[in-house]
Amino acid sequence: MRDLFETIQPEDPMTAARRGARPALRRRFYEHAKIASNANGHLVCLDDKPVHTPARRLLAAPTVALAEAIAAEWQVQRELIDPATMPLTRLANAIIDGVVDGPGPVAAEIEKYLGSDLLFYRANSPQRLRERQTQHWDPILCWARDELGAQFNVGNGIVHVAQPEAALKAVAAAIPDDPWRLGALHAATTLTGSALIALALLRGKLSVEAAWQAAHVDEDWNMEQWGRDEIALERRAFRFTEFQAAATIQKMQPGIRSSPSR
């Protein structure tokens, strides 16, 4: 399993167009994927053997529901095991191998995104695009102000907009310590380009669909004006499955949440 999951990465457009270039997939060698609970957590097992991450750690989730969701990805594999269809497993591997023992750098990277968050930069024109950005982005900024105590500045164009240190610290304080929620938040941040969108999803302010739409306001506008890019859309669909996996982990971890408003 180690080599199988070390080779898979989110597809770039060329890879999406040339799926035949993928590494050879391993044949399914097990009958049933199931879970077993012990002191290490809730292990994902293939028949009676536990699955290991690329770093040779046990693939174990902190909750039964999450372990069952990961096991379900293994169970639905057919003749060949395709890691590209297993976003929960890939994200769980990344969290276990890359976040559990070192959460600090992961949180710091989220804070870097926050310093130049997507929501701070608005188009100069056309007016309809500006209105769409306002529609999707301003409610998130208002939520950050009202619930997190973070008042941010918004600018036009791509020139850097300096943000109040107090606002950055207020949102940084809301970044979770739990490695699973932190890893999911990091994944959602990198996929959307916005720590605020990711955090609003984590806190239940946005649904998965609303968060994804907010992250693609500019891209959707450009496609409306210039036409669809099928390769880009295929890559975006792949990334959405990654985003859904991050949302699933956030949902299945205990923590403070509010009711979705959209």
Range of the domain at 74: 2-86
**Res 20 pLDDT > 80:** no
Last residue of a domain, one of 86, 111, 144: 86
Q: Are residues 153 and 207 in the same domain?
A: yes
Structural domain contains residue 260:
no
CATH number at residue 118: 1.10.3580.10
Q: What's this model's pTM, rounded to 2 decimal places?
A: 0.87
Mean pLDDT of 42-62: 96
Identify the band that residue 223 occupies on the pLDDT scale cut at 50, 70 and 90: very high
Mean pLDDT of 131-135: 98
Identify the band that residue 252 occupies on the pLDDT scale cut at 50, 70 and 90: confident
pLDDT, one tens digit per residue, over 74-119 is: 999 999 999 999 999 999 999 999 999 999 999 999 999 999 999 9
Q: Are residues 118 and 76 in the same domain?
A: no
What pLDDT shows up at residue 40?
80
Structural domain contains residue 96:
no
Q: Are residues 114 and 180 in the same domain?
A: yes
Distance of alpha carbon 153 from alpha carbon 146, whole angstroms: 15
Structural domain contains residue 187:
yes
Q: Are residues 171 and 138 in the same domain?
A: yes
Preceding amide of 105 cis, omega within 30: no
CATH number at residue 44: 3.30.2180.10
Identify the band that residue 4 occupies on the pLDDT scale cut at 50, 70 and 90: low
Mean pLDDT of 190-200: 97
Q: Are residues 119 and 67 in the same domain?
A: no
Domain count along the chain: 2
3-class SS letters over 138-171: HHHHHHHHHHHCCCCCCEECCCCCCCCHHHHHHH
Structural domain contains residue 133:
yes
Last residue of a domain, one of 57, 86, 115: 86
What pLDDT shows up at residue 42?
96
Q: Are residues 60 and 141 in the same domain?
A: no
Contacts of 106 (CB under 8 A, 6+ apart): 98, 99, 182, 183, 186
Identify the band that residue 256 occupies on the pLDDT scale cut at 50, 70 and 90: very low
**Res 124 pLDDT > 90:** yes
